Structure 1
Amino acid sequence: MSKDLDFIKNEKDLWGKIFVDINYAIDNISPFIEEKNLNRRKYYIKKDILKKYINLLDSAESELSFKKSFFSFLKDNKYENLLSSYKNDHRSDFNQLRNCDKCACLNCIKECSFNSCLGCKSGSYIKKCDKEKINITVYENWILDLTNNNTGISNKYKVLGTLEDCQLDRHYIVLQNIMDSNDKFILYYYPGISEDNYGEITDGEEFDFVVETFEGKDL
């Protein structure tokens, strides 16, 4: 198998499944939610980008199979380069669609009070949601530079996840020092337009609840 055909097969296996998952979800939820809410789903507004890519894969596979039968001298990787160029032009959309496919919101029809797609950051998806009070979002590569107010020492922390409590209208963030995996802590999380802010949790019961919730979600 040529490199082009091998590339196309692998891409169809990956993105073909995601394309089917997303369209299946749209068919399932469309009868039960308002159109304005459907249009908030990021996978819904980006689905045509993926549809075009699937069509490009099909066309390239058909054309390549035909030409290879008659022109064995054709330059290898031509189609891979063209297809990769399309993906690079829509890189953020493809990353978003990949995360949408893993998100707890994908097939959900509940008209909830969570931020859901409106609060979605690049490279993230909702891993767990009880549909009433709590959801947990995980992140691919969110690193924060934070300074300890007591010591004045700055460190880089990986965000292990955020928790949204829609009943209390509160957000929490779980952090891990990238140089010391035992150095973890939880803060209030205040998402902002230009910058985010964080605060110390002083209520012991509230802190324990957040810890137990995160630990119970296998993050």
Structure 2
Amino acid sequence: MTGVTQQAKSSKDRILEAAVAMTGENLGAGLSVRAVAARAGVSTGSLRHHFPTQRALQEAVLTAIYDLVIPDDHVIHDTSLPARDRLIACLRLVLAPAAPGKPSREAWSTVYERFIAPEPTEELRATYLATAREGLRRVEYWLSVLVEEGALAAGDNTRRARFLNTVVGGLSVERAMPGEASVLEAETEVLGMAVDAVLASREPGE
């Protein structure tokens, strides 16, 4: 008998797997403890043991999703490539899931329907902020690796990550627009300029 059965998986793995699936089905919906526990086949007490708060569960889910969609570890740690190229490649991974044209339009339509069109309830705001935090954390991690290597001066990586995320966000919108066919060439230039600016950045007074 090959593979791992649902019963053989740990309760934590089953909970996370169920929550990831539910998030993929409806990103804008909150993760109900009862619904996630029922789908995972565990008790609500077991779920709370592993994830004491909604935020803990939500952030674990987002980390798992980012790890699946943006498998960056082998890229940022590949020291056979210059730091500049690695950071650009990691940022491209963020853009990669939604290709220019129809896929990007559909992705932004989903974002609009889930986060912009509805009234901003506390639950919706919390879901969005958790998503944004995870995206920011991922870029901060890449920058911290480069700082450890000495390829980037120590500094405010949160500020740097926000800048890079803003650039990537703008490029993702441009992918959805009926623009020129050479959008990918323009992206390369813009990402290069943004990464150069970050790699050259230092703390005030240095």
Q: Do the two structures share a fold, i.e. TM-score over 0.5? A: no
Between structure 1 and structure 2, the one with the greater Rg is: 1
Larger relative contact order, structure 1 or 2 (CA cutoff 8 Å, min sep 6)? 2
Higher strand share: 1
Which bracket does the TM-score occupy, shorter chain normalised?
under 0.3
